[in-house]
Amino acid sequence: MRYLIISDIHSNLEALEAVVADAAGAYDEVICCGDVVGYGADPDAAADWVRRHARITVRGNHDKAVAGAADLEWFNEAAQAATLWTRENLSRTNLDWLASLPEGPLEIDGFEIAHGSPLDEDEYIITPAHARRLFPHVGWLTFIGHTHIQGGFRLHRNGVEPIEPLWEWESRKEVPLPEDFGNLINPGSVGQPRDHDSRAAYAVYDTEKKIVELRRVPYDIDTAARKILEAGLPEPLAYRLRLGR
């Protein structure tokens, strides 16, 4: 089985379409690590696609906030404004769907998915020290999102190895999954990358070959950014797409 692993789409339809086109033929099922909505101008279209195509989606903090199941006080001003705007601009069907999304971690086909970390859906795993604490709690393979930083960590009782991101001239990179490690993999963010690479990020996992491929694909940032400004969403949400951070 080959899984398309996506996360942090954040209502960016142009990025999602580029990922789906780029991944065509490379996957059998879709798995989503959350944050389908929030920040971008196409929440309904993004939610429609994920709701119809993903076999399993765990909820992200933005999905939870838009559905009214989380306190907005932890969000910065732009995220709060985007949450309220998204709530107003989503169909009832998609609001109900967001509210119904399960909390991670969930186990699927020998691996796990979570939004933030397997211990806390809202936790950001950014540094090796963060990742190291998780060693006793992770199995062989876990996909997480939330940081919008592609890569992840290999955890071992003797230490942590960061999984290096792609260079800007690379669009694909195979990541082997050693048996005796806890492999914590972040596919990156489809719709709002924050790892200084503005291209949409995703991953493909092949259960037979036991290999994850991290991928990047350019998308129409100008259109996505223009729609954010036209919708009256906070301007930094448009500009940061070009910066990839």
Site residues, Zn ion (CB under 5 A): 8, 35
Question: Closest Cα to residue 30, out of 44, 16, 11, 42?
Answer: 16
Cis peptide before 178 (omega within 30 of 0): no
93 φ/ψ angles, rounded to the nearest 5 degrees: -55, -45
**Exposure letters 126-165 (e unless 16+ CB within 10 A, then b):** eeeebbeebbeebeebbbbbbbbbbbbbbbeeeebeebeb
Neighbours of 117 (CB within 10 A): 24
Least distance in Å: CB of 133 to Zn ion? 21
Cα 30–67–95 angle (5° rounding)? 65
Least distance in Å: CB of 147 to Zn ion? 8
Residue nearest to Zn ion (CB): 35
Least distance in Å: CB of 157 to Zn ion? 30
> Which DSSP category does 60 fall into?
P
Cα 139–112–46 angle (5° rounding)? 155
Least distance in Å: CB of 118 to Zn ion? 17
* Cβ distance to Zn ion smaller for residue 35 or 197: 35
* Cβ distance to Zn ion smaller for residue 65 or 154: 65
* Cβ distance to Zn ion smaller for residue 115 or 154: 115
* Cβ distance to Zn ion smaller for residue 116 or 154: 116
Least distance in Å: CB of 34 to Zn ion? 7
* Cβ distance to Zn ion smaller for residue 14 or 154: 14
